[in-house]
Amino acid sequence: MKLRAVISKIEEEISIRQAEDFDNVGLLCGVPDRDVSGILVCHDALENVVDEAIERNCNLIVCFHPIIFSGLKSLTGKNYVERAVLKAIENKIAIYAIHTAFDNDFFGVNHGICSQLGLKNMKILQPKENNLKQLTVFVPKEYSEKVKEAMFSAGAGSIGFYDECSFTVNGNGTFRPVEGSNPFSGQQNIRENADEDMISVIFEGFKQGQIVSAMRTAHPYEEVAHQIYSLDNKNHHVGLGMYGELEEEMDEKDFLRFVKEKFGLEVIKHSAFNNKKIKRVGVLGGSGASGIRAAVSKKCDAYLTGDLKYHDYFLAESKMLICDIGHYESEQFVSQQLFEILSQKFSTFAISKSIEKTNPVNYFI
């Protein structure tokens, strides 16, 4: 299978277009028309991981963190990024990064953390804003189903765990073909009345081009009357962080012991105890100070993340227990998640999970 086709199948499951704007995701190096012999899944595509890919005959590395994050002005092997990228290029190994596309995915990084904790009633902590649009199109009644099917196939009408969602109102439309027109029905210079359906669908903004193209192709009119609106609605099924409830509430120290056991931790940094029971828990994998206020607003009793600074621990205002379990530690289940997703998608070549250590942080206990 060509690399281009492999990437297309991956993005059927995890849309790269839902990544944060600052991120550098997708194909970082590699030739899209080259055949894929095997895939190695890892957390960080470091030089030792590229060596592992060579040894395992994998010419595609699917990594969580992008090895190329800021711009490269040269490739001379002077640092760990350049050495990894150079070795990948020299050995014809492609690198594809997924990062915040998987952070924002409902079943991504934070779903994995919540599942490890056994949380129930999981919801997105920070739903994505400016993400949804609505398309309204006017269609001759006899073509209504055809146009709807075309838009559904292109990704319109998917709302959370429902798809093929639309709303249709029947009415009477008027038009008058003038000189130069080639009308589907009616005659030039005569006003016509048409029995039409007004179809409305909601979609994620990045799908707009493909949906409009599909709609126009299926529509019989020479000039298609349609409108597209940006919605203020948040997308509650895409976004950073999650929160949910423990099966049974715990006191704070028991909760920390529980987290240490579930995540295999030696140490947890945390804010002061509030003598509160822990039931609702918020999580955000990686660097998650940005989610503290959102977790407080959702009335979380505890919040798990990584990379917190001194002043971040004050942000909960004694309303919530803040726990810094470490950046890598909070994302440690990602490789297994990606391995399982790709193993289900591809059966014609090997999917391997890296065994190389890439966590740069060590603890002296």
Binding site feature residues for a divalent metal cation: 65, 103, 327, 331
**Do 320 and 303 form a contact (C-beta atoms < 8 A)?**
yes
- Which segments are annotated as binding site? 65, 103, 327, 331
* Angle between helix 334-345 and 109-117 (nearest 10): 110
Q: How far, in Å, CA of 174 to CA of 251, rounded?
A: 68
Report DSSP state, residue 36. P
Longest CA span, the chain:
86
> What does the alpha-carbon distance between residue 123 and residue 120 come to, in Å, rounded to a whole number?
9
Number of Cβ within 10 Å of residue 198's Cβ equals: 17
Residue 192 and residue 138 in contact, taking contact as beta carbons nearer than 8 Å: no
In 70-204, where do the E strands start and end? 94-97, 120-128, 132-140, 167-175, 192-204
Buried b (16+ CB within 10 A) or exposed e, 221-248: beeeebeeeeeeebbebbbbbbbbbbee
Pairing assessment for the beta strands 192-204 and 167-175 based on DSSP bridges = antiparallel
SS3 of residue 181 by DSSP: coil
